[in-house]
Structure 1
Amino acid sequence: MTEREAIARARAEAAVPTDGAPIARRVGHGGPAGPYWLVTLEGANRTLAVVAIGDDGSIVGAGRPARATRHVAVDAGRARELAGAAPGATAELVWWPSTASRSPLFPLWQVRVGDHDSWVALDGTVLRERPGAAARAG
Structure 2
Amino acid sequence: MKKIHKQSSLFILELIISITFFVLSTLVCVQIFVKSHEISNQTKDVTIAMNYCTGVLEEFENDPTLYQNKKEYFKYYNQNWEKSSKKKATYTISIYCKEENSLKKIQVKAYQQKKKIYSLNDEVYVKEDIYGN
Question: Same fold judged by TM-score > 0.5?
Answer: no
Bucket of the pairwise TM-score, normalised by the shorter protein: under 0.3
The TM-score, its normalising length taken from structure 2, stands at: 0.27
Using structure 1 for the length normalisation, give the TM-score. Answer: 0.26
Q: Highest CA radius of gyration, 1 or 2?
A: 2
Instruction: Kindly indicate which of the two structures has a greater share of residues assigned to helix.
Output: 2
